[in-house]
Chain A
Amino acid sequence: MSDPTPANVRRSLTLAGIGAVAGLALAGIGLFTAKGTSTLAVPPEDVALVNQQAISRVDYIAMLQAMHGTDLAHATVEQKQRVLDDMIREELLVQRGKELDVAGVDPEVRATMVTAVEQGAAMNAFTEQPSDQRLQVYFDSHRAAYASEGEIAVRDLVFTDANMARDAVAALRGGAALEAVIAKFKARDTGKVKGAEFYFAAKIHLGDALYAAAQVLPSGGISDPLEADGMHVLVVTQNTPPTPFAFETVRARVLDDYRRETATKAQAANGDFLRKRANILIAPDSIAKESR
């Protein structure tokens, strides 16, 4: 084994030096760019860091547009400065708010935080694009929700007594003209349902009892006399029950509903998760039947 020559020593030292510099450079890059670490440089996607909290360029540009109605290229230096100052000020106040635990005392902040967290839990559900097959399965299991609203047109006639009402019904069922019957038996048309209405509207206008009687009658159907704050006879001139829609027709609605349901489940799961990981102590008398 011979001693290393001076040339070998020099080469070894040079290589070791290169390696050390490269290692330090990599470590430095990692140190100053890794998430969650303190950095001296503003990441390219941000316009500022306020106590390491980023203010993104997207928000900055949107704020410029909202405050001054201009984009980055046309905004003046003063406008940019004002917007940036405002955003930094807001960030500082939000951070101070966290230090002061504003959410602990301000109901509005609490409500906003609750909404934001719930929205956040739902957001993932809206990112997913379910397959047509999955939507079809959802549609098949919720078919009743995908039908047209039923429509009904009904005349609500009020008679002075039960006998008049009974005779009028007989005349109508015998083929007498509606207007002639109204005149002959001195009936009053309440006009509660004006032309064709959706079932829900007719129900509101007629009231539950009369609507229930009308809804089962076919187009051209005449009810028996009904006692409901006076003697009523219902003449249904049109009744179109709800018609189921085909999947193709309501595909967009199915997607919306599917996402909403998924979001609701995600929010519930988030609530369960938070409860599970929380340390909750409940005073034994807090839900007692009687309190003194």
Chain B
Amino acid sequence: MRLHRILAGIAVAGLALGSAWYVREVAPASALLRADPNAVPQNADLMRFAVGRGETAFRAACAGCHGAEAAGDPHYGAPNLADADWLYGTGTPAEIERTITYGIRSHHPKAWNLAAMPAYARPVPLQGQNFPPLTPPEIADVVAYVASLSGGQADPTAIADGADLFTGKAGCFDCHAADARGDAGVGAPDLTDKAWLYGDSSRAAIMETVAYGRQGVCPAQVGSLTPTEIREAALYVYALGKGK
């Protein structure tokens, strides 16, 4: 008699725990995955659920480069994810999710991989592309022009020559646009703001970029994180940028 009651109690407790687990974990995770990612921020409950768990996924997969606070690391060109400056796309949850899923130059066939920064001090600045190498004075002029875009002082002649190279021979405008405001479609940074992906606004840092190129990588997490974890991480990152 007593044994039967204990067994019945265990069965009921098991069912209750299972139901609670389903209601707390499985159902919201399923709802989260089925939802339009861009609409989730308007759903406070789902957003709370996702952001709460997204930090764990972020720390496991992204914090190694972007830092625990997601402030980025200019040594490696890992962008600050806590600001409103988006390198790829406009910072919607769907775009962030795609980046986390397939990465940037990650070698995944669906990764963002439309452009890379040529190395103008190399005989072939960018494999497979027709960018010509520049001479040392030309590179110095481009650096002067780029520095001037965000308020740096330089010789006006060098700036003018650099501008000509930017919109002409060097082909910088192809990715960064003629007004140097960048192109989020290919991940080309806006050069007129004061947000620096690599290094800082110093001439040495800009010179390193122009002369020797950049081809930063964001790994694809499609095999490492579950679809739920990826969406949670995407919404966590979105929330860090405060949805700007």
Contacts and interface: CB of A to CB of B under 8 A. Distances in A.
Interface of A: 8, 11-12, 15, 18-19, 22, 43-45, 56-59, 61-62, 65, 71-73, 116, 119-120, 122-123, 126-129, 148-149, 151, 194-198, 200-201, 204, 248-253, 255-256, 259, 263
Contacts, number: 128
Interface string B115-141: 000000111000000000101110000
B123 to A, nearest CB: 5
B83 interface: no
A8 B230 CA distance: 51
B217 A198 contact: no
Given A123-B107, A123-B220, A252-B75, 11 more contacts: A15-B11, A18-B11, A44-B32, A58-B101, A62-B98, A73-B38, A122-B107, A126-B103, A127-B220, A196-B137, A250-B208
A211 B163 CA distance: 32
A18 B15 CA distance: 10
Contacts of B214: 252
Contact of B94 (A72, A198, A259): A72
Interface of B: 1, 4, 7-8, 11, 14-15, 29-34, 36-39, 64-65, 75-77, 92, 94, 97-98, 101-103, 105-110, 121-123, 133, 135-137, 198, 204, 208, 211-212, 214-217, 219-221, 223-224, 227-228, 230
Given A127-B220, A251-B75, A44 B30 contact: yes
Main secondary structure of the interface of A (DSSP, over half): helix
12 contacts: A22-B14, A44-B33, A58-B97, A58-B230, A72-B38, A127-B220, A197-B135, A197-B136, A252-B76, A252-B214, A253-B212, A256-B216
A250 B228 CA distance: 36
Contacts of B223: 123
Nearest to B39: A73
Contacts of A148: 121, 211
B106 A196 contact: no
Nearest to B234: A58
A61 B94 CA distance: 7
B208 to A, nearest CB: 6
Nearest to A152: B136
A240 B1 CA distance: 95
Contacts of B227: 44-45, 56-58
A205 to B, nearest CB: 11
B219 A127 contact: yes
Contacts of A58: 94, 97-98, 101-102, 227, 230
A194 B135 contact: yes
A15 B7 contact: yes
Contact of A126 (B30, B136, B217): B217
B33 A45 contact: yes
A72 B38 CA distance: 8
A200 B132 CA distance: 13
A175 B219 CA distance: 60
Nearest to A200: B123
A32 to B, nearest CB: 14
Nearest to B31: A44
Given A18-B11, A71-B94, A252 B211 contact: no
Contacts of B108: 119, 123
A213 B41 CA distance: 67
Nearest to B18: A22
A12 B106 CA distance: 59
Nearest to B108: A123
B135 A198 contact: yes
Contact of A44 (B34, B39, B230): B34
Given A71-B36, A72-B39, A252-B216, A119 B109 contact: yes
Contact of B65 (A61, A129, A250): A129
B217 A259 contact: yes
A146 B35 CA distance: 48
A192 to B, nearest CB: 13
Given A22-B15, A249-B208, A59 B110 contact: yes
A46 to B, nearest CB: 8
A19 B11 contact: yes
Nearest to B230: A58
A291 B107 CA distance: 41
Contacts of A122: 107
The 10 residue pairs across chains A and B that have the minimum distance between CB atoms: A45-B227, A44-B33, A129-B64, A127-B219, A72-B36, A119-B107, A44-B30, A123-B107, A122-B107, A200-B123
A71 B216 contact: no
Contacts of B224: 127
B92 A198 contact: no
A288 B65 CA distance: 53
B133 A198 contact: yes
